[in-house]
Amino acid sequence: MNKIVLCLNKITFSLATSLAEQEKNKNIKYFLLFDRARIAPNKAIKNVKYIPISKTSILCNIFNLLPLSNIEAYVPHDRINKSLLHYINLLNNVNLIDDGMDTLRENPINISKNLTQKARSLVTFSDYTKMGSWTSNIRKVRPENINSLFDKSQPCENLNNYDAVIIESLGVNSLPSKYKKVCIIRHPNPNKRIHLERQSNLKEIFAQDFSLEGSIIEYEGDIIMGETMILPYLLHSKKINFRHLYIQMSDTQYQNLKSLHHLIKRNNISLDIKI
């Protein structure tokens, strides 16, 4: 069996490598397609071949040389390259692999209804006891817990020089004026940039340059975020003072994240919901 996994961010990549390691002694070959701008493979696994996603000709050769019945695909969603989507649609054995918040949303933003119906399984984290209702009829494969997102090979950033840290994410719309020194951690995907009024006390750093998960756990100041994977990471890590965590998002966003409501309420996290 040949398994092709599309890794567009480090979430899918982490789950994919864990899945491959669990099957390294089986007669299964993994082809991990990765985005060079966001992922740098640093671990050799005997049954894994890493292919930069820009080299689609290699992938097309794989599809053309192997019988389709011997290929199993794992994709985070179907908003992908048209030539790749063409081949994926030819396969009978297609699976979903978690790449972020859609797994927790009642109504996924990036995953089509057609794909949710076609998917044979969903690869996700073992910590999740509640997920979006759209996942209820899909078999779950759970190769690791969410703490695995902490990549210890990356350096950590000392954020304790700042009064507040903003995690750039959907929903963040304002910066309280009470802070003297603020850091905004920019999202690695430029398409997910948010606009905050430029202020002299605001410094920008970029999430791809360090371990965000490792750095934020050690931070002692206030954290402001919207709809981001750092939220479920922190909710399941139980290693921070939730009194310093502030969530900004619209009411529509919040209602779409019912799977997290019990954790947010249990930890008395401050919510800034815009109607």
Which tens digit of pLDDT belongs to each residue from 108-129? Answer: 999 999 999 999 999 999 999 9
Beta strands 94-97 and 121-125 are parallel
Per-residue confidence (pLDDT) for residue 12, from 0 to 100: 97
Per-residue pLDDT tens for 1-58? 899 999 999 999 999 999 999 998 899 999 999 988 888 888 889 899 999 887 767 7
Domains of the chain: 2-148 (3.40.50), 164-274 (3.40.50)
Average pLDDT over residues 53-69: 75
Per-residue pLDDT tens for 151-164? 888 899 999 999 99
Of all helices (H) and strands (E), which one includes residue 185? Answer: strand 182-186
Written as six digits, the tokens of 124 are: 């996700």
Distance, CA of 20 to CA of 173 (rounded, Å): 40
Whether 232 shows a pLDDT value over 70: the answer reads yes
Per-residue confidence (pLDDT) for residue 151, from 0 to 100: 85
Q: Which position has the higher pLDDT, 202 or 156?
A: 156
Residue 270, Ramachandran bin (φ over 0: left; ψ between -120 and 50: alpha; else beta): beta
Whether 185 shows a pLDDT value over 90: the answer reads yes
CA 163 to chain centre: 27
pTM of the full structure = 0.91
Task: Look at residues 183, 28, 27, 275 and name the one whose alpha carbon lies nearest to residue 16.
Answer: 28
Whether 99 shows a pLDDT value over 80: the answer reads yes
